[in-house]
Chains A and B, each alone.
Chain A
Amino acid sequence: QVQLHESGPGLVKPSGTLSLTCAVSGGSISSSNWWSWVRQPPGKGLEWVGEVNHGGSTNYNPSLKSRVTISVDKSKNQFSLKLTSVTAADTAVYYCARGALEGFLDYWGQGTLVIVSS
């Protein structure tokens, strides 16, 4: 059973960089899957942030593309998210998820809340 677990600071200052890591267990990040980040502002809907594959290829939400970097670390079986120049609008629960070969998201982490505040 694949499991994903997000970790990282729960508080980030405005204009700073949000950095999160997703550790994958029960499966290899070097498989043919894509690995996604999805976020959810408090009380609002889901927003796809972007994805990476084991080779380091990425796809990003066009609305966030200028500020997002997603990378993979095969040696640690994990992938990471960096979001720069954050504002209060980036406050959200951030989920990592596995993309099945077809593209839907079949395994999700439990989510981690990141608050942007001074």
Chain B
Amino acid sequence: DIQMTQSPATLSASVGDRVTITCRASQSISSWLAWYQQKPGKAPKLLIYKASSLESGVPSRFSGSGSGTEFTLTISSLQPDDFATYYCQQYDSYKTFGQGTKVEIK
């Protein structure tokens, strides 16, 4: 089974900050990685697929990078609407989610 490890678990930041979340896979998954945003009481929303491809309609302040086992999600300038929990997910072999990173207001 492929395990996904996200860090940090919680991140405190201010509006306008540059934010980076890391996701590590237990084995190489090439670029088969997606990032989702989830707000309380809502379904996850796809942000990034294939490690760095921006889903249609997602603001360009979101970007993804990485391949193999190391991946990052970057928010270039944090906006009020971005305070949420973020999950990475591999789809190289079945599907596995990371444990999530909560971005909270500093």
Please judge, given known A-B contacts A102-B49, A102-B50, A103-B32, whether A108 and B43 are in contact too, CB under 8 Å.
Answer: yes
Evaluate contact between B34 and A105: CB separation under 8 angstroms.
yes
Evaluate contact between B46 and A45: CB separation under 8 angstroms.
no
Could you tell me the distance between the alpha carbons of A112 and B7 in the complex, rounded to whole angstroms?
28
Return chain A residues, CB-CB under 8 Å to B44: 38, 46, 95, 105, 108
Please judge, given known A-B contacts A45-B87, A48-B95, whether A105 and B46 are in contact too, CB under 8 Å.
Answer: yes
Residue on B with the closest CB to A60?
A: B94
Q: Is the CB of A78 closer than 8 A to any CB of chain B?
A: no
Could you tell me the distance between the alpha carbons of A59 and B93 in the complex, rounded to whole angstroms?
10
Report 13 cross-chain contacts, Cβ distance below 8 Å, ordered by A residue.
A45-B97, A46-B36, A46-B89, A48-B89, A48-B95, A48-B96, A61-B94, A99-B91, A104-B34, A105-B44, A106-B49, A108-B45, A111-B43
Option from A59, A62, A105, A108 in Cβ contact (under 8 Å) with B89: A105
Evaluate contact between A47 and B91: CB separation under 8 angstroms.
no
Q: Is the CB of A14 closer than 8 A to any CB of chain B?
A: no
Q: Is the CB of A36 closer than 8 A to any CB of chain B?
A: yes
Evaluate contact between B91 and A104: CB separation under 8 angstroms.
yes
Instruction: Tell me the B residues contacting A by CB distance below 8 Å.
Output: 1, 32, 34, 36, 38, 42-46, 49-50, 55, 87, 89, 91-92, 94-100
Could you tell me the distance between the alpha carbons of A62 and B2 in the complex, rounded to whole angstroms?
11
Return chain B residues, CB-CB under 8 Å to A47: 97
Evaluate contact between B95 and A103: CB separation under 8 angstroms.
yes
Return chain B residues, CB-CB under 8 Å to A62: 1, 94
Could you tell me the distance between the alpha carbons of A46 and B35 in the complex, rounded to whole angstroms?
12
Evaluate contact between A95 and B89: CB separation under 8 angstroms.
no
Given contacts A104-B49, A105-B46, A111-B43, 15 further A-B contacts (CB under 8 A): A38-B97, A46-B36, A46-B38, A46-B44, A48-B94, A59-B94, A61-B94, A95-B44, A103-B95, A104-B34, A104-B50, A104-B91, A105-B36, A106-B49, A108-B43
Per-residue 0/1 for A20-53: is the Cβ within 8 Å of any B Cβ (1 yes, 0 no)?
A: 0000000000000000101000000111100100
